[in-house]
Amino acid sequence: MPAPEPTRAAAWCRWAWMGLAFEAPVDFAAVRNDLNRRAGRLVMVDRRRQRLQLTWSALPAGPTPDAAALARDWRKRVEAAAGERGPLEPPPELRSLEAVLPADRPAADPGRAPVRWSGWIGDAPAGGTRTDAVAAVGGLLVDAVLLDPRARGRVPSEQTLRLLASAAPATLPGNATRWTAFGLDAAAPPGWAAASVRHTPAASVLAFTGPGGLTARFWRRGMASAWFGGDAAALLGESTPPGLVPVPAAAGAPAGAVAAAGPEPCRPWARLAGRARLRRDLLWHDAAQQAVLGVTVRGPRRAELPDPAGLLPPA
């Protein structure tokens, strides 16, 4: 699970959230990250103000709607809302997004068709430009709002254009969904869903739930040069419960990874009640990130646990 690699410039990195992969400047920090597929938001700010808001909602079953039609509906709602407020301030004159968004830019994930956005560019209330882009991605209606204080004249900056043009469905072979954020990179198989996320500058955790009571926990601990002595096997032994034994890491695991597997300790009554659980762990040191990363998969005693390395995106 390598870190999200900077792409085509040191100041950009990859994100993948709720089925949408894109590039964002490294100084964009997520301050809200919902995990509800039915409806939610991902909000990013820079050091001064909000810059990006992704809002999604589940589309009803049926043919995927046309992005241009979605944008026209959005424009009608803007005009209707402005009319309800009275003649104080009419809606700004908007410029079509299709007129300025190039269609030949590379996607965030090579081999995936870029997202076809449709929308408008207008003046932001606090200065600069506001870009509203609408698209249908993986059964979701996604609305991206980008605020750029440096742009002028309803012309998006190169930063806005690059972020929109880099967007692509975050799907992997086998219909897995990629999640890339906070130094973590995961591939959730079909039937798995993100359950929780916790992030601090020194540590990040992204948890998933799967069918049959399976769970997976991706974690990262930073500043490894201050506390990691270089012995991954010893660290794995210290951080896993008794009963787990070392096993060979899978062929697709990161270089230097160590693994362990076995039953978790439990009381006799819990074992009789069918609450005993199995566990598989994978741990490795990433020198580029100066971090130690790991994946823990847990499930009922009779379940067949997937290999943690199989939940990592292909290199």
CB contact at 8 A, 50 and 147:
yes
- Note if the pTM is more than 0.75: yes
Percent with pLDDT over 70 in the chain: 79
Instruction: Reply yes or no on whether the pLDDT at 92 is more than 60.
Output: no
The range of the structural domain enclosing residue 292 comes to: 182-311
Confidence of residue 282 (pLDDT cuts 50, 70, 90): very high
pLDDT score at 91: 44
Mean pLDDT of 138-155: 84
Question: What would the two tokens of residue 208 be?
Answer: 């998933």
Radius of gyration of the chain (CA): 22
DSSP 150: T
User: Distance (Å, rounded) from C-alpha 50 to C-alpha 30?
Assistant: 10
3 within a domain of the structure (yes/no): no
5 within domain boundaries = no
Q: Are residues 245 and 161 in the same domain?
A: no
pLDDT at 93 over 70: no
Asked if residue 145 lies in contact with residue 50, where contact means CB atoms within 8 angstroms, the answer is no
Give the pairing of strands 291-300 and 277-286. antiparallel
Condensed to tens digits (0 to 9), the pLDDT of residues 70-87 reads 667 766 765 665 555 444
Q: Are 70 and 137 spatial neighbours (Cβ–Cβ below 8 Å)?
A: no
> Quick check: is 305 in a domain?
yes
pLDDT, average across residues 283-309 = 94
Domain final residue pick, 170, 200, 221:
170
Of the residues 170, 191, 217, which one is the last residue of a structural domain?
Answer: 170
Secondary structure class of 32 (helix, strand, coil) = strand
Residue 4 lies in a domain: no
* Same domain, residue pair 45 and 104: yes
Q: Residue 243: its pLDDT value, please? A: 85
What would the pLDDT profile of 109-127 be if each residue is shown by its tens digit? 555 667 888 888 888 877 7
Degrees, nearest 5: CA angle 27-28-31: 130
Q: Which residue reads 């100084």 in tokens?
A: 27
Say whether both 96 and 156 belong to one domain.
yes
Domain end position, chosen among 116, 150, 170: 170
Kindly state the percentage of the chain with pLDDT values over 90.
Answer: 50
129 and 229, same domain (yes or no) = no
- Residue 181 pLDDT > 80, yes or no? yes
Per-residue confidence (pLDDT) for residue 191, from 0 to 100: 94
The pLDDT of residue 6 is 45
Question: For the segment 22-74, what is each residue's pLDDT rounded down to a tens digit?
Answer: 999 999 999 999 999 999 999 999 988 899 999 999 988 776 666 667 667 76
Residues 191-202: what's their mean pLDDT? 93
Of residues 92 and 13, more confidently modeled = 13
How many alpha carbons fall within 13 Å on the CB side of residue 74? 23
Provide the CATH number for the domain around residue 59: 3.40.1000.10
At residue 68, the pLDDT reads 66
